[in-house]
Amino acid sequence: MSDTERKNKTDRISSGKDEFANLMEEFESGMSEISEGEKIEATILSREDDLFYLDLGGGFEGEILCEEFIDPESLLNGDKVDVYVQNKKGSFYKCSASRSKLSGNDSGDKNIKLDSLFQDGDRIRGKISGVNKGGFEVMVDGERGFCPFSQIEADYGEEPEILINKVFSFTIIEYDPESDKLVLGRRDIIQEEKNLNKVKLLGSLNTDTVYPGTVSSVKNYGAFIDIGGIEGLLHISEISNEKVADANDIYSEGDEVEVKIKDIDHEKQKISLSRKELLEDPWEEFTKKYSGGDKIEGVVSSLKPYGAFVDLTPGIRGLLHVSKLGDEKFHRHAKEVFKVGDKIEAWIDNMNEADRKISLTRVEPGEDLSGQLEKLKNESDREEKASSGSAFGSLLDNALSGKK
């Protein structure tokens, strides 16, 4: 090798060493730029026991406790996570998902993500990390927040500790980084989920269909029945063929009952139920057992000037007109003869199947009414000399002539 060639080779080696030295200097210079408190988007390299190993970029590596994340089991190698560099630990950097764990952390430093979610009213996932006097401590996006008991699950019970480490969606009720205040809630989310489930359930229900249900609450005007996660109203008028004055007399909370859906109001999200429609038709049952001219017992249920309404069997009521009391007297009101609750006997005078109405009489069938009607007419003429009395007298004349 000539001296010239030897010199050129030496120059190339020297140049290569200088270039490598420059690259190392740039690399080391780049590495020195990482600092404590810096937020970095890291890549998960691997997991070992309770640690994730991270690629922090630029040749840096770090580690972070798995428990720092809301749902560590869902994280895989290659996933991107936001971390804060705490300090150097040997050849690794120790990281945290929470700014609050940084030494000398400025609580007034605003978390842009939380602030944006707060302004927009969007949801954020959080893990319950503890319980204090008024509610729960919740970790969200590396920040420690507070959720009042009244804003968590409605049925968390008397042991709030059972919710520790559980993950929920929250809305940010209040966020003020200067006072280190982060208040979270779930009430609106729970209500929204209930409304969505209610709409779905309403769409799956059909009218004129029978469903098993459980009495969830009772009012004097009816009972609310839970039919698979949605409530409907069983009004007192739809409980029985008999008159019901107060639903509390029939049902108690927790009673099981079969009901039929009468109507669904999708706009108002209301369901009307019936129990009465599942019972045997009282009219058909009555007409099988009784007919015109039969003697029957009943209980006076209401009194009017023109007569008394009498409950004959459950769901069946008849009218005993004042003109058919059979006592040969003229009465201005049925209360002159009866009071509500009286038990009486009468005959079925007429059964109108088309209108489902029953007329009763206290005059035994076949008895001559001419004397009674004549007496009623005379009393009416004496007591009522006004036009109304004459009109009643005419009605009696017609009845008398018809009977004769």
The structural domains of the chain, with segments of one domain joined by +, span: 15-105, 112-190, 210-278, 282-361, 370-403
For the segment 74-102, the average pLDDT, to the nearest whole number, is: 81
User: Residue 151 CA to chain centroid, in angstroms?
Assistant: 16
Continuous segment of H or E residues that includes residue 309: strand 307-313
pLDDT tier at 391, thresholds 50, 70, 90: low
CATH number of 15-105: 2.40.50.140
How many whole angstroms separate alpha carbon 124 and alpha carbon 332?
76
pLDDT of residue 66: 85
pLDDT of residue 177: 75
pLDDT tier at 403, thresholds 50, 70, 90: very low
Bridge partners (DSSP) of residue 89 are 92
Phi, psi (5° rounding) for residue 201? -65, -40
pLDDT of residue 103: 57
For the segment 368-390, the average pLDDT, to the nearest whole number, is: 55
Please report how many Cα atoms fall inside a 13 Å half-sphere around the Cα of residue 85, on the Cβ side.
Answer: 22
CATH of 282-361, one of 2.40.50.140, 3.40.1710.10, 3.40.50.720, 3.40.190.80: 2.40.50.140
Instruction: Say yes or no to pLDDT of 160 above 90.
Output: no
DSSP 166-215: -EEEEEEEEEEGGGTEEEEE-HHHHHHHHHHHHHHHHHH--TT-EEEEEE
Computed from CA positions of residues 162, 165, 167, 168, in that sequence, does the dihedral angle turn out positive or negative?
positive
> 112-190: what fold?
OB fold (Dihydrolipoamide Acetyltransferase, E2P) (2.40.50)
The whole model's pTM is what? 0.46
If one compares 48 and 404, the residue with the highest pLDDT of the two is 48
SS3 content of the chain, % helix, strand, coil (to 5): 30, 35, 30
| Residue 179 CA: distances (Å) to CA of 109, 210, 284 | 10, 57, 76
pLDDT of residue 163: 86
Domains 112-190 and 210-278 share a fold: yes
pLDDT tier at 180, thresholds 50, 70, 90: confident
User: Residue 160 CA to chain centroid, in angstroms?
Assistant: 23
Instruction: Say yes or no to pLDDT of 133 above 90.
Output: no
pLDDT of residue 176: 84
Q: Render pLDDT for 32-54 as a digit per residue (tens, 0 to 9).
A: 567 788 888 999 999 888 889 99
Q: Render pLDDT for 209-247 as a digit per residue (tens, 0 to 9).
A: 899 999 999 999 999 999 988 899 999 999 987 778 899
For the chain, report the end-to-end CA distance as a whole number of angstroms. 159
Instruction: Say yes or no to pLDDT of 353 above 60.
Output: yes
If one compares 67 and 311, the residue with the highest pLDDT of the two is 311
pLDDT of residue 202: 85
C-beta separation of 191 from 269 below 8 A: no
Q: Which of 108-117, 142-151, 195-204 has the lowest average pLDDT?
A: 108-117
If one compares 340 and 144, the residue with the highest pLDDT of the two is 340
CATH 2.40.50.140 for the 210-278 domain, yes or no: yes
Work out whether strand 92-96 and strand 60-65 pair parallel, antiparallel, or are unpaired. parallel
The token duo for 287 is 């007409």
